[in-house]
Amino acid sequence: MGALPHVDTSSSATNGANGGSRTIKSWAPATGDLLGEVRVSTKEEVFAAVARARKAQAAWGVLPVEERCERLLRLRDALVERADEIVDVVSRECGKPRHDCLSHEVMITVDLLTYYCKNAPRILAGHDIGLHLLKHKKSSLHYAPRGVIGVISPWNFPFVIPMGDVVAALVAGNAVVLKPSEVTPLSIQKAKEIFDGTGLPEDLFTVVYGYGEAGQALIESGIQKLVFTGGVETGKRVAAACGANLVPCVMELGGKAPLIACADCDVDRTARAIVFGGFVNAGQVCISVERVYAHESIHDDLVARVKELTGALRQGDPQGDATVDVGAIIFPKQIEIAERHIEDAVAKGATVLIGGKRRAGPGQFFEPTVLTGCDHTMTVMKQEIFGPIVPIQKVGSEDEAIRLANDSHLGLNAYVFTKNREKGKRIAQRVEAGSVCVNDVLLNYAAAEAPFGGIKQSGFGRVHGEEALRDMCDARHVFSGRVPEPAADPLWFPYSNKAYRWQMRMLRAVFSRGSIVKRIGKLF
């Protein structure tokens, strides 16, 4: 079989007021097999799911955080126990190697859940805030669950991306309604099946299926926060809809990760990192190595090694063959995008060092491709590829590499390779990205403690780490007194000339340069 429809838009009946239903079919990109189908949720069903979630949350959110964590560890245990089933579904539905599914989809989810369950009591504990001016008062901050969290997720990591958000939301005391990508509904159906087998309240985590309309319905449903992961153009529409409904949102959008190969890099490790970072999951990773800036002194050696390693990659249907490195491309459009980038780059002077073509079916495959002689006139250096292409540009200095790395509307991940780790960290400070790895690729996503997210048009807000967990809550400021409050507060009515003069003296005493209060350093 050649190109697959993958997303089936043909309705078995019409959706909406007449009560008919549409279905989404899920196809295996590596074989063309039909894997299953799900029913598209109507707007009314999305609203009803949120209403049920709200009821479930009312009981869940008042449990002590320790108890919630204890109960959620049952989910962790079930995910570990049933890891093979998850790998089966995700591997077939995405056409990605089982190895990737285990380490990227299952392991990171399980680790994040473990980290949050272990640390949430500390992270979400209320704490005092020292007040520098209002010394007679006392402030404390408390974290209260927001309510129902909406999650809208993409197809490229159909398990770990949504489940990371789901576990953070649940640990923090919320309920979740998730709309997975229409391209990979079965992966999350498996997650829901496992969740329901743990005895946790069913409505605490609900899945609704569908296309953009179902996502739009979720935004309009009265949720307290949305975590969206997807492309930049969709992200703009989703952020606008969140604005119209005043729904706080996290936007995890596209990437164009640069890799800077310094003159003093370890050429072999750098080449291996480029090949892994560029071709894992067939390049369909928001933090894939999407462009390489190689210092002229190591450029030729690096390119030669990258070519050799790319040529050794084994591509094919990963089912039943654990040695496949690179799997399939999710749907035909991604192949067409790859072809357009290559055509544009070659027309402007780039060379196809290796790869460059789609492979014959069955299934959808595109050869791991390396382009050399690239520059910023080419779309392949400026726009997200999201496919197995690594374009390489030769640079004369590290400053030039940094300037080019920052010449992008995106800023999710970036990579620096140098044997001098301190220099690597210095360069990392100058690269405009949410995360920068020195001598590594992609692995920062697995650091449960560290925030992950983008700057520029790669989005805003963060997932993972302490900040993301706290952001699943409303921060409640409780303000009280240290001393008995007088009946007549000097700052309240009635105003008087005397009170005004007193305030003026206070202002000068506290804020004038060289004031007595300042000199004794009591306040500032």
Part of the chain binding ligand NAD (CB under 6 A), chosen from 40-48, 99-107, 191-199, 226-234: 226-234
Active site residue 117: no
Residue among 224 and 418 whose Cβ is closer to ligand NAD: 224
Q: Which of 15, 91, 189, 229 binds ligand NAD (CB under 6 A)?
A: 229
Number of helices (H), then strands (E), in the chain: 18, 22
Q: Does 31 bind ligand NAD (CB under 6 A)?
A: no
Residue among 149 and 262 whose Cβ is closer to ligand NAD: 149
Nearest to 51 by CA among 218, 180, 213: 218
Residue among 234 and 408 whose Cβ is closer to ligand NAD: 234
At position 77, the amino acid (one-letter code) is: D
Residue among 60 and 159 whose Cβ is closer to ligand NAD: 159
Q: Does 230 bind ligand NAD (CB under 6 A)?
A: yes
Active site residue 286: yes
Considering only residues 384-423, where is the footprint of ligand NAD by CB under 6 A? 384, 386, 412
Q: Which of 117, 223, 253, 260 binds ligand NAD (CB under 6 A)?
A: 253
Residue 261 CA to residue 417 CA, distance in Å, equals 5
Residue among 447 and 517 whose Cβ is closer to ligand NAD: 447
- For 101, what's the count of Cα atoms within 13 Å in the CB-facing half-sphere? 28
Residue 265 CA to residue 278 CA, distance in Å, equals 18
Residue among 281 and 393 whose Cβ is closer to ligand NAD: 281
Q: 């319905």: which residue's tokens?
A: 217
Residue nearest to ligand NAD (CB): 215
**In sequence order, which ranges of 61-159 are alpha helices (DSSP H)?**
65-81, 83-94, 98-100, 108-123
Shortest separation between residue 81's beta carbon and ligand NAD, angstroms: 27
Q: 362 preceded by cis ω (within 30°)?
A: yes
Q: Which of 95, 145, 150, 154 binds ligand NAD (CB under 6 A)?
A: 154
Residue 306 CA to residue 303 CA, distance in Å, equals 5
Part of the chain binding ligand NAD (CB under 6 A), chosen from 52-60, 70-78, 178-186, 341-349: 178-186
At position 428, the amino acid (one-letter code) is: A
Q: Which of 41, 181, 418, 444 binds ligand NAD (CB under 6 A)?
A: 181
In terms of residues, how long is the chain? 524
Shortest separation between residue 369's beta carbon and ligand NAD, angstroms: 18
Shortest separation between residue 216's beta carbon and ligand NAD, angstroms: 4
Residue 438 CA to residue 425 CA, distance in Å, equals 7
Residue 338 CA to residue 342 CA, distance in Å, equals 6
Q: Does 156 bind ligand NAD (CB under 6 A)?
A: yes
Residue among 87 and 94 whose Cβ is closer to ligand NAD: 94
For 162, the 3-state DSSP assignment is helix
Residue 339 CA to residue 459 CA, distance in Å, equals 27
CA trace torsion 69, 73, 79, 81 (10° rounding): 180
Exactly one of 45, 93, 105, 252 is catalytic; name it: 252
Q: Does 238 bind ligand NAD (CB under 6 A)?
A: yes
Residue 361 CA to residue 284 CA, distance in Å, equals 19
Residue among 153 and 206 whose Cβ is closer to ligand NAD: 153
Residue among 195 and 386 whose Cβ is closer to ligand NAD: 386
Q: Which of 164, 255, 363, 391 binds ligand NAD (CB under 6 A)?
A: 255
Nearest to 146 by CA among 93, 236, 225: 225
Exactly one of 286, 374, 437, 473 is catalytic; name it: 286
Q: Report in angstroms the alpha-carbon separations of 36 from 25, 26, 59, 188.
A: 6, 5, 35, 13
Q: Which of 121, 212, 222, 451 binds ligand NAD (CB under 6 A)?
A: 212
Question: How deeply is 374 buried, as exposed, middle or buried, from its count of CB atoms within 10 A (0-12, 13-18, 19+)?
Answer: buried
Considering only residues 275-304, where is the footprint of ligand NAD by CB under 6 A? 286
> Binding residues for ligand NAD, how many (CB under 6 A)?
30
Binding mask 91-120 for ligand NAD (x = CB under 6 A): ------------------------------
Considering only residues 55-94, where is the footprint of ligand NAD by CB under 6 A? none
Residue 145 CA to residue 474 CA, distance in Å, equals 6
Q: Which of 61, 114, 138, 211 binds ligand NAD (CB under 6 A)?
A: 211
Residue 367 CA to residue 313 CA, distance in Å, equals 10
Part of the chain binding ligand NAD (CB under 6 A), chosen from 233-241, 305-313, 436-444, 464-472: 233-241
Q: Residue 236: which residues within 8 A CB-CB, separation 6 or more? A: none
* Backbone φ and ψ of 379, nearest 5°: -60, -30
For 11, the 3-state DSSP assignment is coil
* Residues engaged in binding ligand NAD (CB under 6 A): 152-157, 161, 179, 181-182, 211-212, 215-216, 229-231, 234, 237-238, 252-255, 286, 384, 386, 412, 454, 459
The catalytic residue positions are: 252, 286
